[in-house]
Amino acid sequence: MRPVRIMVLGIRGIPSVQGGVETHAEQLYERLAHLGCDVEVLVRTPFVPSDRRSFGSIRIRRIWSPRTSGFEAVIHSLLGVVYAAVVRPDILHIHAIGPAIVTPLARLLGLRVVVTNHGPDYDRDKWGPFAKWVLRTGESFGMRCANARIAISRVIEQVIHARYGRDSDVIPNGAVPVNLQTDSNEIERFGVQPGRYFLQVGRIVAEKRQLDLIRAFALARPPGWKVVLVGSGAGDYTGKVQAAAREAGVVLAGYQHGTALAQFYTHAGVFVLPSSHEGLPIALLEALTYGLPVLASAIPANLEIGLPSTSYFPVGDVKALAARLLAVARAPLDEAARESRRHWVTEQYDWARIAKQTYAVYHRVVREPKLLGRSVI
DSSP label at residue 303? H
| pTM, entire model | 0.85
For the chain, where are the E strands, in sequence order? 4-9, 37-44, 54-55, 58-63, 91-95, 113-117, 148-151, 169-170, 197-201, 226-230, 251-254, 270-273, 294-297, 312-313
Domains, the chain: 4-174+350-375 (3.40.50.2000), 185-348 (3.40.50.2000)
Torsion on CA atoms 67, 69, 71, 77, rounded to nearest 10? 70
* pLDDT tens string 11-64: 999 998 988 899 999 999 999 999 999 999 999 999 999 999 999 999 999 999
Q: How confident is the model at residue 1 (pLDDT cuts 50, 70, 90)?
A: low
Q: What is the pLDDT of residue 373?
A: 44
Q: What is the pLDDT of residue 126?
A: 75
